[in-house]
Every structure is written in structure tokens, then in C-alpha cells.
Amino acid sequence: MLTKVHTGLDPVEGVWWKPAHKTEKAWVAIAFAWCMVLFAMMPLWHWKGGQNPSGVRTRVDPKAFYARAVAFAAQYKVGDDRGIPIVQPPPGADVYLVGLTFQWYPILRLQQGKEYMLHISSLDVNHGFSLYPLNVNFAVVPTFDYALRVTPTAAGDFRIICNEFCGIGHHTMVGRVIVVDSAGRSVADNAEVRIGHGGAP
């Protein structure tokens, strides 16, 4: 016995919990199964996939983090570009990147195929880490140290765009990451990134 024909504007009388037609039930079942697939994909990617936003997450004092980044830059500095140090840490090292209005400090020089522990934080307000042209995005929240294990898979000259509004100069905040190939050569002019006014180090 079906529900009496009525629209969503009509009050329904008495018992309205009638069984649904089998096509409606089938769609609910398909949708439910799909939801389970959507859900399962995330733990599955943690297990089998290579890109997860887990990291090691700790609280940190912004000034202490900045001091650590400055010490790190002094220790591994290999050059500079536009007054910002270019820093080449050894593979496996802890790497520090700090966002401050309106700059990313320092410039990182990493090696293809090697894993690094990349610590990201902010000295002042929220920033957004967006690695161009790969389109890898992380939130940078002051007082939190977001440490991500990263392994660059291709050499190139990358940019870090700030993609969280941080003030009126937000759009000028661009940093740089250089990835050298496994032989240690920098690839200044790869297919993906053309260098305009930023020369190869």
C-alpha cells in the first residue's frame, strides 16, 4: 500500500512510514555503498599512497621557531638570492621554512629522491604554503610546527606562493625551492618552470 499521493506542502495524515519502491531503495543502497568507498579511500591512501598531510605536529613559540630557522640557514648556507640565503641541508636533515609578512625564509636547495623533514611555521599571522607548479598546499598557522616528510621526485626550480590572506602585501609573498637532480646539478630551465628574473644559483 503506497502513501496517498501528496506534495511536500501538505501535512501528512497518520502513518506515513510506508515501504519505499525498490528503485528508490536501490539508489539509497548504491549511494550508501559509494559513501563507504569514499570513506575507505582515505585510510587506504595512508596505507598505500604516497601523499598524506599527517606529518609531526607540535606547538612552538613563533620567535623560537624563527631563531631555529635562522640558525639552520647560517649552518647550511651556500649562497643567496635577492638577500635571502640559499640553504642546502644534507639529505635526511630537519629543514626549516618560516613565513613572515611578506616573505618565505630561507630559499631551500634540496636533492631529488632524498627525504627531508620539512618544518613549516609562521612568525606572525596565518600564511599558506603553495608549492608552484606542483600545486601542493598546506596551512601555516602561527604557534604550530607542521613537520612533513617530503621527498622531491623531480628536479626543478619551484616557487612557494602564499595562499592565505596575510595582509595588504599578501600577493607579493613568493619564496623559492630549488631541487637539484641526483647528480647534484640544478636544472634551471626544466619543462615546467621557466626562470624569468630569478637566475640559477
Q: Which of residues 97-156 bind another protein (CB under 8 A)?
A: 103, 115, 120-121, 124-126, 128, 130, 132-146, 148-153
How near is the Cβ of 59 to another protein at its closest, in Å? 9
> Using an 8 Å Cβ cutoff, are 163 and 139 in contact?
no
- For residues 99-126, b (16+ Cβ closer than 10 Å) or e, as one string? bbbbbbbbbbbbbbebebbbbbbbbebe
What residues from 28 to 57 belong to the interface with another protein (CB under 8 A)? 28, 30-32, 34-36, 38-39, 41-43, 45-46, 49-55, 57
Residue placing its CB nearer to another protein in the complex, 171 or 185: 171
Q: How far apart are CA 65 and CA 59, in angstroms?
A: 10
* Cell (9 digits) for 38: 569514499
| Per CB under 8 A, 63 contacts another protein | no
Please identify which residue in 69, 164, 180, 187 interacts with another protein, judged by CB under 8 A: 164
> Using an 8 Å Cβ cutoff, are 187 and 155 in contact?
yes
| Per CB under 8 A, 75 contacts another protein | no
- From the list 63-71, 72-80, 86-94, 188-196, the region that binds another protein by CB under 8 A is 188-196
CA distances from 160 to 26, 125, 201 (A): 47, 17, 17
| Per CB under 8 A, 16 contacts another protein | yes
Site size toward another protein (CB under 8 A) is 100
